[in-house]
Amino acid sequence: MTATTSKSNADLDSTAHIMNLITDQLATQLRRVSRDGTRRPAAPALVLVAHGSRDPRALATVRALMERVRAQRPGLSVRLGHIELNEPLLPDTLAALGDREAVLVPLLLSRGYHVKQDIPEMAAASGARTRLAAPLGPHPLLVETLHTRLVEAGWRTRVDDATRRTSAVVLAAAGSRDPEAAEDTGRTARLLADRLGVPVLPAYASAATPTVPEAVRTLTARGHTRIAVASYFTAPGRFARECAEAAPWITSAPLGTHPAMANLILHRYDESLTTSTRPLPLLASA
């Protein structure tokens, strides 16, 4: 291939890239215009609400997940806010929205204090018009992600009956004192047990019992010798690491940026706009 040919191909690739960008931008603009030529109101922004972590891998994972959501829904404004420990903090993200409408999607796997108190209070103190979506769990898409992560860690999907009888899973979650959080985690454990065909016992890193070591001892006493730990965390962090250290066999990676996670985030966003969930109230000004 001559230098002239290589340059021509490069020019064509560059031109094609530019044309694709123009086409994508035009399609986005057209989606904002109704058939009668009037401009549709902008869709509410989607604000991912992460807990926050001192582990830098957690922030990198959440940002990568946010980019996956953006790629699946071009034209939708997707932003990030943390409850604590990482920037941007949720109040800062909401302040940047001004009075624009937004849907807050918690990157949390169950109901609990953060969903019921922290996030609504932060939202009420802001000037943004906000609506709170349900937490991610429980949901079959989470079970799909858990299954994939277990298989990646070495869980065999086809085993004989004897091996299946000795197998079990500990579903390791963060934990909460709220009984509804345990109810949600228990629901996920039952869905995962149905998927795997083996017992799945919920366990917690803090604030609730049993702990992962206690759950492992319980399953061992019941005759299970192949006990895996399913990491029920959205991203790497201290809790995920401590639970993994207690595993007697394999441990799956956190849920992370699995495609089903992005699908579930968008599902919670859409669900909040089509159900009777009421917008969060604003605090009265002083």
What DSSP string describes 248-273? SS-BPPP-TT-HHHHHHHHHHHHHHH
What distance in Å separates the CA atoms of residue 286 and residue 272, rounded to the nearest whole number?
Answer: 30
Q: Nearest-CA neighbor of 67 among 199, 283, 261?
A: 261
Cβ neighbours of residue 277 closer than 8 Å, sequence gap 6 or more: 131, 132, 133
3-state secondary structure of 65: helix
CA distance 43 to 109: 25
Structure tokens at 105: 């999607």
DSSP code at position 111: -
Is residue 51 part of the annotated active site? The answer reads yes
Q: Which of 51, 147, 224, 258 is catalytic?
A: 51
**Residue 214: burial class (beta carbons within 10 Å; 0-12, 13-18, 19+):** middle
Sign, Cα dihedral of 86, 89, 93, 96: negative
Smallest CA-to-CA distance from 261 within 112, 108, 142 is with: 142
Residue numbers annotated as active site = 51
